[in-house]
Structure 1
Amino acid sequence: MAKEQLEVLNALDVAKTQWYHFTAIVIAGMGFFTDAYDLFCISLVTKLLGRIYYHEPGSPKPGILPPSVSAAVNGVAFCGTLSGQLFFGWLGDKMGRKKVYGMTLMLMVLCSIASGLSLGHTAKGTIATLCFFRFWLGFGIGGDYPLSATIMSEYANKKTRGAFIAAVFAMQGFGILAGGMVAIIVSSAFKSKYPAPSYAEDPTGSTVPEADYVWRLILMFGALPAALTYYWRMKMPETARYTALVAKNAKQAAADMSKVLQMEIEEEQAKVEQLSKDQSNSYGLFSREFARRHGLHLLGTTTTWFLLDIAFYSQNLFQKDIFSAIGWIPKAATMNAIEEVFRIARAQTLIALCGTVPGYWFTVGLIDYIGRFTIQVMGFFFMTVFMLALAIPYHHWTQPSHRIGFVVMYGLTFFFANFGPNSTTFIVPAEIFPARLRSTCHGISAASGKAGAIIGSFGFLYAAQNQDKAKADTGYPAGIGVKNSLFVLAACNLLGLLFTFLVPESKGKSLEEMSGENEVGEEEAGAGAQSRTVNPV
């Protein structure tokens, strides 16, 4: 039986790339810029927190955060993010994308500032306050994942939809890069104004009192891009797909998109009402019909994102430990506290500039040509290869003459993560589920990823700190924990490749084709219904 698309949705599907597409990318993308900055900037300052709050007088080594404290500081935002993805994903389908969008942004602004203002009478009090605010910061960040992806997918045309969603997510790379650059600028400013000896020269004087301002300023800067974006987010109209297919308001959907596309679009309330009566498109998330149509798809999106984030967040959060293990960053005792922040930030910025950011934009440029499936399989495959290439001859790479080779190989794992599953796991869940469940399913998929990030952040920390310490005492070479961790991450990538085969290819198809919704037989729509073709504007 012939099928017919709503005119307002067909208009969006076939529209030429216009200014509103780029506006939407920037508005949604700045949220991801902030997300990445806030999530990853903590890794730049954890060693500084250890020096300031956990220094033992007379110790031959600078203070470090205890493993449990370090895990909490690094992982608490992920716990908040997971909760926010589930809650705001569900809320985005119940209240609408736009109404919820502003809530997440304001939460991010307020908690970024509050994180930098964390106070306490003791070290434990300050760290506890920091963890509290970073949990709620993560809660707001979590909401940004399903909402940004869903909004961009529902605004985009089907020909370049993958590139537009990927461009939103690619702002994450600039956020990581910005975190490193801000840390370099702040630490350089304090380093020149408040010079201090190395720890070996003067343990007490190596951490000047002003070092406490460094980590606070770095964390608070994350509020700026989010605050600048708030007004424009509130100006965006609700997506036509939510208004027409979920809210059942054809008149409002046509009016909103007529302004956006600058063309006349006919409202089709009768067809929308017919769609609402169609029982085949009214199944819920926990129904047998959903399990039959999309059960394997949801399993594929959740497992691949879960496995990817174990590897991706382990790599990002603990670069400093890996670089220290191979000797690329000097030993802490040879530097003062602010110098150490500068060295860590410089190393992570170099990796972001050479590996992370280019990987995102390769995805933007190629995803609508070679497809989501191919990019994801290729990314997982090469991540596995490069992880094994680092792990098997690990002690070869720790030699001073081979460290540059290690950094290059390590950077390539970031490149293929982003020109691969780190981008596609974000894109696909926003394309393959029905409009009334799209934000919820994306939130579930993203939350599964953050569960992987939590495992990665806690697990890698244990491996890198506890194993190294224990095995060094028994004669094993330092860094054995990092080596074993690389083997585990390679296995995660290989499993991710296998689960990718559960995820359908959505290249070149409309959202309604992928979900099977909004397709009304001409007989059901009425004898007068005619298929319409909207000319691109």
Structure 2
Amino acid sequence: MAGDIDNNLVVLNALDTARTQWYHVTAVIIAGMGFFTDAYDLFCITTVSKLLGRLYYYDPTTHAPGKLPHLANNCVSGVALVGTLSGQLVFGWLGDKLGRKKVYGLTLILMVICALSSGLSFGYDGKVVIGTLCFFRFWLGFGIGGDYPLSATIMSEYANKATRGAFIAAVFAMQGVGIIFAGLVSMIISKLFLMKYGGTPFDVDEILSTEPEADYVWRIVLMLGALPALLTYYWRMKMPETGRYTAIIEGNAKQAAINMGKVLDIEIQEEGDKLAQFKAANEYPLLSNEFFQRHGLHLIGTMSTWFLLDIAFYSQNLTQKDIFPAMGLTRKASTISALREMFETSRAMFVIALFGTFPGYWFTVFFIEKIGRFRIQLMGFFMMSVFMAIIGIKYDYLRTEDHKWTFATLYGLTFFFANFGPNSTTFVLPAELFPTRVRSTCHALSAASGKAGAMISAFGIQQYTQDGNVKKIKKAMILLAVTNMVGFCCTFLVTETKGRSLEEISGEDGRQNETQMKTSKPVSGHHDDGWE
């Protein structure tokens, strides 16, 4: 601790050693509600995409259920990911240039407007409606993208070093709650509309033309995504700028002390003399030899692992509506009405999220400060690879009626270890490894790499398995298993961060030699940090 006080600013040490207080919890809730909204908006499209096909591509001459064409389906599912990638890069850069708080509210405003507009998508025929929907979902994704680097950076800079990882992971864990609500809300809305005005269910044999109310259902589901963002906006604007940004980037230690004194019960002394020296030692830009010598391998590690993780993670999420019938959780579209199909798809998504996805997030929250980020990420990648390989190799066996629950269990375990693994830790690590001056930008680069992987999933793997061909699904699952093992190997490019201050990790406190050693030898760095 003496070394920290000698090398670091008093305001930063005060934040690192502050006891956990109510405002820490408040910050988790405020930032987490953004991620709740993000997840709801991104994943609710899974529950309504088949309904869109039956509404706008229904052929009354054949009476066969309508289906979105491959290209339209990929665009509806994947265009928000393109917007998210773009928003991550733009807002991540702005977060470092203008301040975290100044741009934090813009992301919510954009999400509110575009969630409402998505539900109001208009057009004279189905193609125009789908095109309008894709336009608004791109900009919805753009706002969602900004939440990734800003929420992670703000939470990391508010938290103390003893619980920082748990708090950042808790913010991200709200994504699991958002996925659950995406399934739950879709299930409730579709069930309500399944009932006629007297409460009598629709005859499941009726064709789509007898369900004109279905056009309201998907619009309501999408528009409800604006509500949590709208409710969070006021509290997000009340948050002060982080003490680290105010002190290190703006060079105003006095204002940093005032800001943090308002929300945390700590005494912070002004330290103007030492601040200039501290700033001068950390003014190197992102595109510089010094940055790449200090943090180059870390950035490659965070970008590559998030990229590889999202190829697998989004391949599961975006194609789960096609795997559900194999599990016996939904029936064939030709035997049920459009709203009944949406209800069953939503119910299946809710069950998988509740028992597979959701627990994994909170296991990470509870164990990240005990096990560490590095080990959790290695374990998650490895277990995902094992379960996906089993599904791929034994797919014919598992999809039979007698083994449907074994299939469901294996499928759910891949989500559990994604979230009690790299889906959480790839979000946490970029918020801790890099200097304050470029922290938001580096997190944005890492997150954008992840969305690039998600786009490969949406426009590549989903396209490949769109027809439900068993051989193609088996090959895709085995490919995803290999992808996860590559992610396992790339994890060795990052280092453990638990128990250390952000300035010690990044070398901002002057410990350049130690930082470079841990960059080049990450495994030995873990043991030096008190793992054993």
TM-score scaled by structure 2? 0.93
1:256 to 238, 256, 259: 259
Q: Which amino acid aligns with 2:220?
A: L
Note if 1:496 corresponds to 2:483.
Answer: no
Measured in 1, the distance between the counterparts of 2:147 and 2:208 equals 43
1:86 — aligned with what?
A: 89
SS at match of 1:193: coil
Deviations 1:280-300 (A, max 9, x none): x22111101111111110000
SS at match of 1:517: coil
Q: Which amino acid aligns with 1:107?
A: L
Measured in 2, the distance between the counterparts of 1:381 and 1:362 equals 17
Note if 1:203 corresponds to 2:207.
Answer: yes
Which structure ranks higher in relative contact order (CA pairs < 8 Å, sequence separation ≥ 6)?
A: 1
Measured in 2, the distance between the counterparts of 1:325 and 1:453 equals 23
SS at match of 2:64: coil
Conserved? CA contact 1:245–1:518, under 8 Å: no
Measured in 1, the distance between the counterparts of 2:141 and 2:208 equals 35
1:529 — aligned with what?
A: none
Q: Which amino acid aligns with 1:419?
A: F
2:380 — aligned with what?
A: 379
Conserved? CA contact 1:321–1:464, under 8 Å: no
Measured in 2, the distance between the counterparts of 1:243 and 1:59 equals 65
CA-CA distance at 1:324 after TM superposition = 2.4
Measured in 2, the distance between the counterparts of 1:289 and 1:519 equals 13
SS at match of 2:73: helix
Tell me which stretches of 4 or more aligned residues in structure 1 moved more than 4 Å. Answer: none
CA-CA distance at 1:157 after TM superposition = 0.4
CA-CA distance at 1:519 after TM superposition = 3.8
Measured in 2, the distance between the counterparts of 1:153 and 1:209 equals 48
* Greater mean deviation of Cα atoms: 311-320 or 17-26: 311-320
Note if 1:165 corresponds to 2:156.
Answer: no
Q: Which amino acid aligns with 2:433?
A: I
SS at match of 1:226: helix
CA-CA distance at 1:489 after TM superposition = 1.1
1:394 — aligned with what?
A: 395
Measured in 2, the distance between the counterparts of 1:325 and 1:64 equals 18
Deviations 1:303-326 (A, max 9, x none): 000000011111112111111245
Deviations 1:232-259 (A, max 9, x none): 0000000000000111111100111122
SS at match of 2:259: helix
Structure 1 portions without partners, runs of 5+:
469-477, 522-537
Note if 1:97 corresponds to 2:88.
Answer: no
CA-CA distance at 1:196 after TM superposition = 3.3
1:294 — aligned with what?
A: 295
Q: Which amino acid aligns with 1:366?
A: F
Q: Which amino acid aligns with 2:203?
A: P
Conserved? CA contact 1:5–1:520, under 8 Å: no
2:47 — aligned with what?
A: 44
| Count of residue pairs the alignment pairs up | 506
2:529 — aligned with what?
A: none
1:139 to 139, 142, 150: 142
Structure 2 portions without partners, runs of 5+:
513-532
2:507 to 497, 516, 521: 516
1:334 — aligned with what?
A: 335
CA-CA distance at 1:11 after TM superposition = 0.7
Measured in 1, the distance between the counterparts of 2:16 and 2:226 equals 35
* Greater mean deviation of Cα atoms: 456-465 or 503-512: 456-465
Conserved? CA contact 1:465–1:481, under 8 Å: no
Note if 1:114 corresponds to 2:117.
Answer: yes
TM-score scaled by structure 1? 0.92
Conserved? CA contact 1:307–1:493, under 8 Å: yes
CA-CA distance at 1:327 after TM superposition = 4.2
1:33 to 36, 58, 75: 36
CA-CA distance at 1:520 after TM superposition = 9.2
CA-CA distance at 1:382 after TM superposition = 0.3
1:70 — aligned with what?
A: 73
2:236 — aligned with what?
A: 233
Conserved? CA contact 1:386–1:410, under 8 Å: yes
1:533 — aligned with what?
A: none
Measured in 2, the distance between the counterparts of 1:146 and 1:344 equals 32
CA-CA distance at 1:7 after TM superposition = 1.0
Note if 1:182 corresponds to 2:185.
Answer: yes
Conserved? CA contact 2:301–2:492, under 8 Å: yes
Q: Which amino acid aligns with 1:317?
A: L
Q: Which amino acid aligns with 1:434?
A: P
CA-CA distance at 1:481 after TM superposition = 2.1
Identity of aligned residues (%): 63
CA-CA distance at 1:47 after TM superposition = 0.3
Measured in 1, the distance between the counterparts of 2:264 and 2:17 equals 11
Q: Which amino acid aligns with 1:342?
A: F
SS at match of 1:41: helix
1:409 — aligned with what?
A: 410
1:443 — aligned with what?
A: 444
CA-CA distance at 1:483 after TM superposition = 1.6
Deviations 1:339-384 (A, max 9, x none): 0010000001000110111000000000001100000000000000
Map 1:273-292 onto structure 2 (within 5 A): 273-278=276-281, 281-292=282-293
2:217 to 207, 214, 233: 214
Q: Which amino acid aligns with 2:151?
A: S
* Greater mean deviation of Cα atoms: 327-336 or 212-221: 327-336
Measured in 2, the distance between the counterparts of 1:186 and 1:297 equals 45
